[in-house]
Amino acid sequence: MAIIRHPDIRRMLMQMRSQVEAMRALAYSVAAAHDAAARHPDAAQRAQNQAYVDLMIPVVKGWSTENGNTLSYLGVQVFGGMGFVEEAGAAQFMRDARITTIYEGTTGIQANDLMGRKIAREGGATIKSVIGMMEQTRAEVSKQAGPAFVALAAALGRGIDALKQATDYIVANYGKDVRSVAVGAVPFLRLMGIVSGGWMMARAALVAEGKIAAGDADPFYPAKIATAHFYAEHAMSEAAGLAQEVVQGGASALALDEAMF
């Protein structure tokens, strides 16, 4: 039997597919904003786009490179015992991916930049603006029919709530107890990446639905909606737990005396 018929293989392949699509879409969104920040004729629009770029660059770097490690690991796992055989190539991808979280300044540095310089220092102004854009997309998704869009709207709503909870905690507490709050920097970066990825997938699903409604029979479009549906039900489920880790995890991480290590 072909291994793709195994449900767990399908789960891993869908995880790889959906995460890669979400990461690419977020990177393209930031790249487009970077161009607008440099070339838009309106100064206010240039400033708004630059703020979005500044906020999202550590997310694109940190979340994407960490995900690259996870997905290359899954690529080996899909092959089973053959995954470590060099002729398959999967093991080399995993080794190559490992350096990316170090090339990019280490994930912790990206996360601290996101939390301290991009959120706490400006009182969360830019991220709250981005959350507003996410909410606009969720409202559009909620108008669509079908199980995929119902799942997308619900998951994006929960993800936005988790992101708000964590952001409010950072803004309120970073100046009071920076060490405890900074414990949650990497979990927050991951939360930001997952929810931003869900936002991108929801936007893509809306475009795909519009193409289908216009009579385009390209199978790419229903596949895009199905992939977004998977992302909503699998990737987005982590958001609430990550928010809890950000808000409640500081004290326990710092509880032991340094000599215990």
| Active site amino acids | 104
Q: Give Cβ neighbours of residue 194 (< 8 Å, ≥ 6 apart).
A: 63, 159, 235, 236, 238, 239, 242
CA distance 10 to 2: 11
> What residue has token string 């929960």?
158
As a whole number of Å, the CA-based R_g of the chain is: 20
Contact 131, 167 (CB under 8 A): yes
Q: How many CB atoms lie within 10 A of CB 133?
A: 12
